[in-house]
Chain A
Amino acid sequence: ELTDTESTRLPHFDKILIANRGEIACRVIRTARKLGIKTVAVYSDVDKDSLHVKLADEAYCIGPAPSAESYLRADKIIDVCRRSGAQAVHPGYGFLSENAQFSETLAKEGIVFIGPPAPAIVSMGSKSESKNIMAAAGVPCVPGYHGDEQVPQFLFEEATRIGFPVLIKAIHGGGGKGMRTVTTPTFAAFQEALSSAQRESLKAFGNDTVLVEKYIERPRHVEVQVFADTFGGVVSLWERDCSVQRRNQKIIEEAPAPGLSAELRADLSSKAIAAAKAVNYVGAGTVEFIFDNDTEKFYFMEMNTRLQVEHPVTEMVTGLDLVEWQLEVAAGNPLPLAQSSIPLVGHAFEARIYAENPRNNFLPDSGPLLHLSTPMPTHIFASSFPAIPPSSGASSLADLTPSLSSHNSMVILPSVRLEEGFKQGSQIGVYYDPMIAKLVVHGRDRTEALRMLRKALDEYHVVGVSTNVEFLRALAGNQAFINEEVETGFIPKHFDELFPPILAPSPELLAQAALFVVLRDHPISSPTLQSPWTSLTSRRFGGDVYERTIALQEENAASDSIPVTVHVKPAGPAHFDVTVRTAGGDTHFTSVAAQLISPTTLSSTLNDAYTRVTVVSQPPAPGVPATSAPNTMERIHIFADGAKTTLALPSPKWLLSLSEEILGAGKGALRAPMPSLVVEVRVKLGERVEKGQAVVVLESMKTETVLRADVAGVVKAVGCKNGEMVEEGRQLVEIEEDDVSAE
């Protein structure tokens, strides 16, 4: 029987194209390399130095930065297929991954789309249609209205029938876009949410059809990974829990879902398989369920017809390579394993590391990865587990109960996997998703996996953009999270614990920051340029002692707060006497041994405790005049004990006075607060504006910011145009203030 399958086995492609960027492109390339398949990458202008371009065997530029002009251009991608001879296209996730037309066009060109057939995408792409199919196939759905009628009054009546609170969702929406919750049962409130959802959906997906659903108050997000082949075989690779979300987007995922009974797991899997079968699904897919914590019931939400961001957690607990499975299926081979042979071993987590500011409503950030150091990964792929012999019977409910026992005796070593798309120096731009990387851990049980996750997050250091690393660390250490009390409303519910007040930096930390500054300023004494003028550092004679004072300011300190000073005196070779002077008093550290082990690693012995901390200096952007704002100062980032502390070196008075001279006439000048895209310039040259009037609309990381006039006057200059990319600090509009004295 084994020989039979071997002989009928179809070969893999020789060359595939990856129509994506970032970590997922790198992920697909890695599996392709493993299998000896050549890879073709595509990239936009701003991605020319990206990791995925370097990893691929060939790479082609497909246009400018906006994805509508590059990664979404099916014609250009097909053209690259022709030029490079790629036989198949892996779409990754996002972009063209769920675009049925793209899949069809590829088929016409004789190129294989590594994904489901077009009709399955179409059926599942429409939220209302998919629910009808599911209902017919016996998959439970959330009560709601999924019809074509879109008149607000009618939808409101439907909402009233379903019962508030309700959820308005764009049919083509996803990733939290085009989605609104309405709790107030009034038409006005409903209509406002409706039009807002429609607008967003129209902008993002070119379609504003919505559906209305019952809103579940304590829901969990549980999803099942399914895989289907062209022979009608469908298996479940078990479920994931992705309940903890912010801005309706996932940030941490785990497999298996905690607290599920074996029966519930089997039930979920069987319903997911039924869902896939109902649309003749092929390839990797995810059936998402909303799980009501209060009733333990689950409802079909949607099916994602692609490989998901969080697929690695499934890989870790099953020991499989899902991209490899995708390639097998796309090559026309049957699924590699029968349902009864699919393992479920240990527990895995994935933490998504985003460039964003959790304390500022998770607002996306952009900028260069000035410094990036990560925990050392132990694995590139999931480590595989011993094969489980397939059970005799056909797929039954028994098969959907993973034979955990067969692996209980196995020694599983905890593992860390890193899915990266960017390296130090890369730019996290405003054009694409601000996800920097995914940190994946696997352990024997949930406790062990969480411990691994906390340790790995402690070692994940980023400078240049704000990240959610510290937030994820707090989450992974949160008692309710440890206790498996997950739900989609987790963050608002545990807000205070997740965002503890920021404490003033300790004297030890301040001393370390000052020592870093002192040591990196020591003259460089190379063997070729040896001179006592560089080696006799800080040498004085006749009883005189050199002392240096470093002023430090907390990043978020009020502008009028007095900076902390740290006085550093040399006390023998590589030893210093340090005095930290804060409002709370002086702290002395005598004869502190300190040295820079690397340009970013400081070792020091404070109070007889030897510690190594990572310290990274971030110079201010050139050309930005110095002010009392920390981002115009040099900033020192210290990573110690799993927390990042940022201190700024205040600019001296004279530099500030020079800035005042430059910025003196700066009132009325509107500057870009962050690198962003100019969506709309609402004023023209010579036009009169009132104070507070919206002048420029910016978009950064899919979030709009409106710049308003800070003075009333006449527009004297417009330094940007619609659709232009502007850097931080760029003057966009200048308004000549009305002569107040003349009034």
Chain B
Amino acid sequence: GRALVSSLAKRKCQCRRPYHASVLPSLVSTASPEFAAKAAAMDALVADIEAKTAQARLGGGAKAAERFRSKGKKLPRERFVLRTLNDIRVTQNGWTAPRLNLLLDPHTPFLELSPLAAHDVYPGAAIPGAGLITGVGRISGRECMVIVNDPTVKGGAYYPLTVKKQLRAQEVARSIGCRACILWNLVSPGAALPYQANVFPDKEHFGRIFYNMAQMSALGIPQIASIHGISVAGGAYVPAMADENIIVRNQGRIFLAGPPLVKAATGEEVDEETLGGGMMHSSESGVTDHLANDDEHAGGHRRPGEGRGGGGTAVRPARGAAVPPSELHGIVGTDVRQAFDMRDVIARVVDGSRFREFKKEYGPTMLTGFAHIHGYEVGIVANNGILFSPSALKATHFIELCSQRKIPLLFLVNVTGYMVGSKAERGGIAKDGAKMVRAVACADVPKLTVIVGGSFGAGNYGMAGRAYSPRFLWMWPNAKISVMGSAQLSQVMTAVSTDPAQHASLQSEIEEQSTALYSTARLWDDGIIRPTDTRDVVGLALGWQRGGRRGRAKGLDDVGWDVSPPGLRRVQDNE
């Protein structure tokens, strides 16, 4: 009986062979002569295409490549797809270098588009791949459109098909919505002049690139540009139009016209680095946002994982500061006149003491940058001195960026106010300050304010004082708040008054009215907090407001942070 059962079971097993009616049967005879002939023909064709593709991938050829390498530069393909060097896991000056120096995540695929573009199109000129590499790759765990100029091909000039290839890449990126992120490795002199009629004027020509950039920016598609060589004329507008950009020191240059043209036009003699080098644009013009020391360094900045919002990376495992928060007392002290480096405060508040600074070299009295607190991403706006015009413009840019990327803002306040004096007034400090105040007022993300030192005058407004509806405003016990410093105020009053004796006690009165205790008693703030509690208090506020930012489901992004009329609400997703 038992034997029968087992043999039945065996038969049943045999019946359940892996066959399904919908599985297509394969009855092809691979030994047939027709099969062999067809396969051989196809093999040959594939080999031919691969050979042509390989040739196109060489770009401008071995000589051009060698010229590039000898200058210590990386070839475009080396920049983003291949041959990554060692990982970096070092915390450096508060911000963590990415795991990879170069662009694509290691060991991830790259889906290149139209590698044979412009093949045999332009008579007498080989323009491999139309001088542009485009494709979808994975960066920090997200698929991104990558657009790279190939300077080995006619210096990266735009031929008609180069424009077409770039517009197509933008179209693809736009079609998959705000998850895409475009990275431009810019080395381009702009349009190929002999072809200007087919590059410049029409709807689907060069101008459309900028039109698309502006449109996509409004759609919340992060666009990040990095400049590794000379980007002149049309090439100069791409980084300027991007949301955020990176320039390589002593290598990347941005100008509307190069030194020869400048000399011809105005007679001015100037070298490239002075005219549009990385240091100049990062510290003076403010055209660029990050200064990289070399190509590899730029690769780190370009990665969209940190401070780029818009992805699934807003929340990461929370962890404490790498340096002890207990040191805050000794760093700040209680005398508001004594300066301290706000970076020392930030290092003791944010996760892992990591702070990715934005526009570090520009307007250095203002600190802006991205960090995480209890795992929540925040954009930090902090004072490191008096506000000058560049500081205000920097903060404005940063606040708008965070607003666009839906990253909550944390204001760490220690501000004496905007710079006064004729030089500052001529520089338009009032207007620049107003821009910052406007950006703060209209920021479409939650604002949290912590007054860690003084909050005086218009600085209070620019730094999200009570009138600017921060979700919460906390003060440290040492914090001071008033229209100006008590000593200053009494001096002013003594100077303008007809009866100076009347103001004898003014200084101490103002002094008393500017204390945190005076403020909190009148509900000008939401409480006095211990400096060491800042991280937890801010973390709780972020966690509560976000309702757990973990889910970035479709539709959630559409909700503005502050109550704003529906018309003003930004459309987030065009899907």
Bound state CA distance, A109 and B143, in angstroms? 73
**Complex interface: chain A residues within 8 A of B87 (CB):** 517, 521, 634, 649
0/1 string, B165-194, CB within 8 A of A gives 1: 000000000000000000000000000000
**Stretch of A376-384, A619-627, A690-698 contacting B (4+ beta carbons < 8 Å):** A619-627
The B interface is mostly helix, strand or loop, or mixed, namely: loop
Whole-angstrom distance between the Cβ of A242 and the nearest chain B Cβ = 43
The reply to whether the CB of B533 lies closer than 8 angstroms to some CB of chain A is: no
Q: Given contacts A521-B87, A532-B109, are A654 and B93 in contact (CB under 8 A)?
A: no
| CB nearest to B323 among chain A residues | A623
Whole-angstrom distance between the Cβ of B232 and the nearest chain A Cβ = 25
The reply to whether the CB of B279 lies closer than 8 angstroms to some CB of chain A is: no
**Complex interface: chain B residues within 8 A of A634 (CB):** 86-90
**Complex interface: chain A residues within 8 A of B82 (CB):** 546-547
| CB nearest to A570 among chain B residues | B107
Bound state CA distance, A550 and B143, in angstroms? 25
Instruction: List B residues 291-328 near A (Cβ within 8 Å).
Output: 292-294, 296-297, 300, 322-323
CB–CB A620/B90 < 8 A: yes
Number of interface residues of B (CB under 8 A): 44
CB–CB B107/A658 < 8 A: no
0/1 string, A652-676, CB within 8 A of B gives 1: 1111011100100000000000000
Bound state CA distance, A330 and B293, in angstroms? 71
Whole-angstrom distance between the Cβ of B492 and the nearest chain A Cβ = 37
The reply to whether the CB of A651 lies closer than 8 angstroms to some CB of chain B is: yes
CB–CB A523/B85 < 8 A: no
**Complex interface: chain B residues within 8 A of A183 (CB):** none
**Complex interface: chain B residues within 8 A of A522 (CB):** 106-107
Instruction: List A residues 503-558 near B (Cβ within 8 Å).
Output: 517-518, 521-523, 532-534, 536-544, 546-551
| CB nearest to A520 among chain B residues | B87
Bound state CA distance, A665 and B564, in angstroms? 50
CB–CB B88/A652 < 8 A: yes
CB–CB A546/B85 < 8 A: no
The reply to whether the CB of B99 lies closer than 8 angstroms to some CB of chain A is: yes
Q: Which of A541, A649, A651, A654 has the most CB of B within 10 A?
A: A654
The reply to whether the CB of B105 lies closer than 8 angstroms to some CB of chain A is: yes
The reply to whether the CB of A201 lies closer than 8 angstroms to some CB of chain B is: no
Bound state CA distance, A620 and B89, in angstroms? 8
CB–CB B81/A625 < 8 A: no
CB–CB B109/A540 < 8 A: yes
Tell which of A533, A649, A651, A658 touches B93, judged by Cβ atoms closer than 8 Å. Answer: A658
CB–CB A622/B109 < 8 A: no
Q: Given contacts A521-B99, A622-B322, are A534 and B90 in contact (CB under 8 A)?
A: no
Tell which of B109, B143, B352 touches A539, judged by Cβ atoms closer than 8 Å. Answer: B109
Whole-angstrom distance between the Cβ of A480 and the nearest chain B Cβ = 43
CB–CB B297/A654 < 8 A: yes
Bound state CA distance, A157 and B57, in angstroms? 89
The reply to whether the CB of B83 lies closer than 8 angstroms to some CB of chain A is: yes
0/1 string, A472-499, CB within 8 A of B gives 1: 0000000000000000000000000000
CB–CB B90/A632 < 8 A: yes
The reply to whether the CB of B508 lies closer than 8 angstroms to some CB of chain A is: no
CB–CB A662/B93 < 8 A: yes
Q: Given contacts A542-B49, A620-B90, A632-B90, are A548 and B106 in contact (CB under 8 A)?
A: yes
The reply to whether the CB of B196 lies closer than 8 angstroms to some CB of chain A is: no
0/1 string, B223-236, CB within 8 A of A gives 1: 00000000000000
The reply to whether the CB of A434 lies closer than 8 angstroms to some CB of chain B is: no
CB–CB B107/A523 < 8 A: yes
Whole-angstrom distance between the Cβ of A173 and the nearest chain B Cβ = 38
CB–CB B108/A537 < 8 A: yes
**Stretch of B110-118, B448-456, B474-482, B555-563 contacting A (4+ beta carbons < 8 Å):** B110-118
The reply to whether the CB of A421 lies closer than 8 angstroms to some CB of chain B is: no
Tell which of B53, B89, B322 touches A543, judged by Cβ atoms closer than 8 Å. Answer: B53
**Complex interface: chain A residues within 8 A of B57 (CB):** 542, 544
Q: Given contacts A538-B109, A623-B322, A657-B293, are A649 and B86 in contact (CB under 8 A)?
A: yes
CB–CB B293/A549 < 8 A: no
Bound state CA distance, A537 and B92, in angstroms? 30
Q: Given contacts A523-B105, A537-B109, A539-B109, are A619 and B89 in contact (CB under 8 A)?
A: yes
Bound state CA distance, A622 and B321, in angstroms? 10
**Complex interface: chain B residues within 8 A of A652 (CB):** 85-86, 88, 101, 296-297
**Complex interface: chain B residues within 8 A of A550 (CB):** 85-86
The reply to whether the CB of A650 lies closer than 8 angstroms to some CB of chain B is: yes
Bound state CA distance, A624 and B323, in angstroms? 11
| CB nearest to B324 among chain A residues | A727
Q: Given contacts A521-B87, A652-B101, are A548 and B107 in contact (CB under 8 A)?
A: yes
Bound state CA distance, A542 and B87, in angstroms? 27
Residues of A within 8 A of B (CB): 517-518, 521-523, 532-534, 536-544, 546-551, 570, 619-620, 622-626, 632-634, 649-655, 657-659, 662
Counting from the closest, the 3 A-B pairs by CB-CB distance are A654-B297, A539-B109, A543-B50
* A-B contact sample (12 more), CB < 8 A, given A517-B86, A652-B101: A523-B108, A538-B109, A539-B110, A543-B51, A546-B107, A551-B85, A622-B90, A649-B86, A651-B88, A652-B86, A654-B294, A657-B297
- 27 A-B pairs with C-beta separation under 8 A: A523-B108, A533-B138, A533-B143, A541-B112, A543-B50, A543-B51, A543-B53, A544-B53, A549-B84, A550-B85, A620-B89, A622-B90, A622-B322, A625-B92, A634-B88, A650-B86, A651-B86, A651-B90, A652-B85, A653-B293, A654-B293, A655-B90, A655-B92, A655-B97, A657-B294, A658-B93, A658-B297
